[in-house]
């Protein structure tokens, strides 16, 4: 399978990534060819079409794909495999300056995500250690698949200050918009406000997490699960 075409030069964006507020990140429109994501969207399972892991509590109301008990199409499988391939890893290393990135073959907590009307994910910092591989979580890549998405639907990804006191950036989850950001104990983010989309219109995304064997000393902390702050 040929590698997916990436429409932005990673190294040219490294300084912007590193200097971004409130923590290193970048928002890119059109990183992928539309046709590649349209193929994924065509096969994206509806909430009732297969078994999803359902989260419904005061901190999160969302769907995560249950890979152990459900199947995905060959098209989606090829796309996920491409996100874990060496071409993607080298591109991300050039963008972020993080060397030795390791993909997650288990897609633990990642892969296909879907939020139905009224759903949300409160502001949080991510778990810092892969539960199976014991690797350090360093990077998130979120790819949005929502065509004709309106501002009033909400569903913005919010990036919060490192002290967790205020929202510094809101990102509308429109089709072929990709967000990459470094994950630490202070990279607070979320989708805290209930989704206002019409009935049957869900917020769809693909989430990829990348790891390294070790991390800088000033980022180290004891292993922890997701840290919610709101």
Please report, for the domain that includes residue 59, its CATH number. 2.60.120.620
Going through the chain in order, the beta strands assigned E by DSSP cover 25-29, 52-56, 60-65, 102-103, 111-115, 120-125, 136-144, 157-160, 167-171, 177-182, 189-191, 203-212, 227-228
Give 48's DSSP letter: T
Query: How many domains are there within the chain?
Result: 1
Pairing relationship of beta strands 120-125 and 60-65 according to DSSP bridges: antiparallel
| Segment 123-152 mean pLDDT | 96
Evaluate whether residue 182 is within a structural domain.
Answer: yes
Residues 95-107: tens digit of each pLDDT: 999 999 999 999 9
Residues 104-120: tens digit of each pLDDT: 999 988 999 999 999 99
Q: Helical H runs in the chain?
A: 14-19, 34-42, 74-83, 86-96
Contacts of 105 (CB under 8 A, 6+ apart): 84
Evaluate whether residue 5 is within a structural domain.
Answer: no
Residues 36-47: tens digit of each pLDDT: 999 999 999 999
Evaluate whether residue 6 is within a structural domain.
Answer: no
pTM as predicted: 0.96
Evaluate whether residue 111 is within a structural domain.
Answer: yes
Closest by Cα among 87, 58, 52 to 72: 52
Evaluate whether residue 4 is within a structural domain.
Answer: no
pLDDT at residue 68 in the model: 81
pLDDT at residue 2 in the model: 63
Evaluate whether residue 157 is within a structural domain.
Answer: yes
Neighbours of 27 (CB within 10 A): 17
Evaluate whether residue 168 is within a structural domain.
Answer: yes
**Can you tell me whether residue 185 is helix, strand or coil?**
coil
Task: Note whether 199 and 103 are within 8 A (CB).
Answer: no
Residues 181-230: tens digit of each pLDDT: 999 999 999 999 999 999 999 999 999 999 999 999 999 999 999 999 97
Evaluate whether residue 1 is within a structural domain.
Answer: no
Task: Note whether 101 and 93 are within 8 A (CB).
Answer: yes
Residues 57-91: tens digit of each pLDDT: 999 999 998 888 788 999 999 999 999 999 999 99
What is the residue range of 51's domain?
11-215+222-228
Residue 1: pLDDT over 70: no
């Amino acid at each position: 399978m040929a590698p997916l075409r990436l429409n932005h030069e990673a190294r040219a964006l490294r300084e912007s990534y590193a200097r971004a507020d409130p923590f290193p990140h970048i928002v890119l429109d059109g990183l992928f060819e539309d046709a590649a994501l349209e193929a994924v969207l065509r096969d994206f399972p509806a909430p009732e079409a297969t078994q999803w892991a359902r989260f419904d509590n005061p901190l999160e109301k969302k769907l995560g794909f249950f890979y152990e008990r459900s199947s995905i199409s060959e098209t989606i499988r090829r796309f996920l495999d491409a996100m874990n391939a060496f071409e993607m890893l080298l591109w991300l290393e050039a963008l972020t300056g993080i060397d030795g990135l390791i993909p997650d073959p288990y897609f633990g907590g990642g892969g296909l995500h879907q939020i139905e009307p009224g759903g949300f994910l409160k502001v949080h910092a991510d778990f810092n250690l892969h539960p199976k591989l014991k690797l350090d979580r360093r990077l998130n890549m979120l790819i949005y698949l929502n065509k004709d998405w309106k501002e009033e639907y909400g569903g913005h990804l919010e990036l919060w200050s490192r002290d967790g006191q205020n929202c510094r950036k809101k990102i509308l989850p429109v089709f072929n918009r990709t967000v990459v950001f470094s994950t630490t104990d202070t990279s607070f983010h979320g989708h805290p406000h209930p989704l206002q989309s019409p009935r049957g219109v869900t917020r769809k995304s693909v989430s990829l997490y990348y790891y390294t064997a070790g991390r800088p000393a000033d980022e180290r902390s004891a292993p922890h699960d997701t840290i919610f702050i709101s």
